[in-house]
Chain A
Amino acid sequence: MQPDNQIPPHPSPDGQDLTLPPGSPQQQEAARRTRRSFIVGGLAALGGVLGWRYLLQRPYADGTPQPFRRVLDANGRLSSAYFRETRLAREFPKSQAVKQVRTNGSAGLESEIDLAAWRMVVQPYRGGKAQEFTLADIKALPRVEMTTELKCIEGWSIVVNWAGARFADFLAKYPLASRSGQPVKDIANPPSDLAPYVSVVTPDEEYYVGLDMHSVIHPQTLLCYEINNQPLSIAHGAPLRLVTPLKYGIKHLKRIGTISFADERPADYWAEQGYDWDSGH
């Protein structure tokens, strides 16, 4: 639909006198339309400011106002719906991996650790007694080496050479994540009663992350014990850490203590402080 009185080609109005004769019908029409538009515009602007302030003043949910948390969660659900385990994070030639891998934060790493006495504790999804695993148990699984980009939520990224066992291979050998005790044999067709969420906690319980099962059984999610073919240093999470290029660095928990499975999203250290729980890539 085109308006009746459309703008015709015309010289640039620069410098022209465009005042309408006072009291003329055009001047009255112009004044009426101008007044009405500025009142509507002003009210809309006021409504926008008040609406935004209202959103910001809603009660907080994990460090962020409830409406913002809802949107973060909806974005997370949308990404899960679009997620395909066949989409892999880019892998780089090993030669591109950094020699000095940056560390950031020490939550969960501040207590003493006796590496020889360390055990990874796994609570079976169906209940019952927790099972303990040594580093040798993890190393007995197929060793997978990959060179991927670690992306910190702060904005920096580095290419790192990692090695470890696939989390999926661990769950294939030790069927602890499904109610019926079925192993994860094929990640494209996991058991139907597989737990939807996984919780990973440091031995001192100071740092903890929650993960969705899709990401956990992805072929690039590792129980990692080496960087640049060397055993992990204490600062990098010795003896065993989580690595998943499907998530920001905040989910790469160092020094795994306890793993458990859940029906609801497990607690997550940074999500409690206003960050997106999913934090997925």
Chain B
Amino acid sequence: MKQLVEKHPLAIRWFHWLNFPVLALMIWSGLWIYWANDVYRLGWGNTTLFKFFPQSFYQAFHLDHKLAQGMSWHFLLMWVFFLNGLLYVLYTFFSGEWRYLLPNRDSFREAGQVLLHDLGLRKTAPPVRKYNGAQRIAYTAVILMGLGSLLTGLAIYKPVQFGWLTRLLGGYEAARIEHFVLTIGYVLFFVVHVAQVVRAGWNNFRSMVAGFEVAEVPVNEVKK
């Protein structure tokens, strides 16, 4: 029997949708900052496979000569990013939502099955309880990445006052690279996330806005 089932609590929907523009603006202002010393690349020796970023990229999005503006945006929005993330973690902890989100002992096996299914190599997807194993791993990892951005960011922002943290992360230059790599990680996460949301369809997308999902519930589980 088809039923409306509650999927995402209101608080989680707010945390999710506030994080989206805030993280986007953090990345955008981060690009303005990065432009001022854009030295990272993929490659070895004199061979460069990809330079972060080609000149055309900066020009297309007018990312150049905005270092001061980038820093002022970054150091305002960092508070929103941090508080929103902290409240999300506290909420998932106290509401018990963490039970759906943290990977368990089945998650890694399940994630493999999900991957095979999504690639069309396996007929059935494993059963899910709100999230499948791959989702649990991805959504927990992205929160850890958020913590990573916070810590590497702090190590770059105050490398003397938080010198112990900067040293722990391998020094000032290493912390900058880690901060950058995490940002690339968010972009990759975003691409996969949006592709999966498109693939999962309207019912799933709507649940992140309206909270409920239509599901086929076995009759003996329907509450009277």
Seen from chain A, the residues whose Cβ lies within 8 Å of a Cβ on chain B are 1-14, 16, 18, 20, 26, 29-30, 33-34, 36-38, 41, 44, 48, 63-64, 67-69, 71-72, 75, 79, 82-84, 87-90, 149, 151-157, 245-246, 270, 273-276, 280-281
Contact = CB atoms under 8 A, between A and B. Distances in A.
A41 B36 contact: no
Contacts of A18: 2, 203, 214-216
Given A26-B4, A30-B4, A83-B161, A11 B125 contact: yes
A84 to B, nearest CB: 8
B72 A274 contact: yes
Contact of B173 (A26, A71, A157): A157
25 contacts: A7-B7, A7-B129, A7-B130, A8-B218, A8-B221, A10-B215, A10-B216, A13-B215, A13-B216, A18-B203, A30-B214, A41-B17, A68-B76, A71-B79, A72-B72, A83-B161, A89-B159, A90-B163, A149-B172, A151-B159, A151-B172, A153-B71, A155-B36, A274-B72, A281-B160
Given A3-B6, A10-B216, A34-B206, A155 B37 contact: yes
A70 B121 CA distance: 56
B159 A37 contact: no
Nearest to A33: B210
Nearest to A8: B221
Nearest to A3: B6
A87 B167 CA distance: 13
Contact of A275 (B4, B71, B218): B71
A5 B209 contact: no
A7 B158 CA distance: 45
Instruction: Classify the interface of chain B: helix, strand, loop or mixed.
Output: mixed
Task: State the 7 A-B residue pairs at the shortest beta-carbon distance, nearest first.
Answer: A155-B37, A274-B68, A12-B125, A37-B210, A3-B6, A154-B36, A68-B72
Interface of B: 2-7, 9, 17, 21, 33-34, 36-37, 39, 67-69, 71-73, 75-76, 79, 95-96, 117, 124-130, 132, 158-161, 163, 166-167, 171-173, 176, 200, 203-204, 206, 209-218, 221, 223
Contacts of B217: 8, 10
B127 to A, nearest CB: 5
B129 A63 contact: no
Given A37-B211, A68-B76, A79 B161 contact: yes
B37 A13 contact: no
A5 B213 CA distance: 11
Contacts of B223: 4-5
Contacts of B129: 7-10
Which among B71, B125, B176 has the highest number of chain A CB atoms within 10 Å?
Answer: B71
A281 B159 contact: yes
Given A33-B4, A48-B21, 11 more contacts: A7-B215, A12-B128, A16-B216, A18-B216, A67-B76, A68-B76, A71-B79, A72-B75, A89-B160, A270-B68, A281-B161
A273 B166 CA distance: 29
B6 A7 contact: yes
Contact of A9 (B2, B37, B128, B171): B128
Contacts of B76: 67-68, 71-72
Given A38-B209, A72-B72, A5 B160 contact: no
A77 B64 CA distance: 30
B163 A33 contact: no
A12 B126 contact: yes
A38 B210 contact: yes
Contacts of B21: 48
A273 B67 CA distance: 11
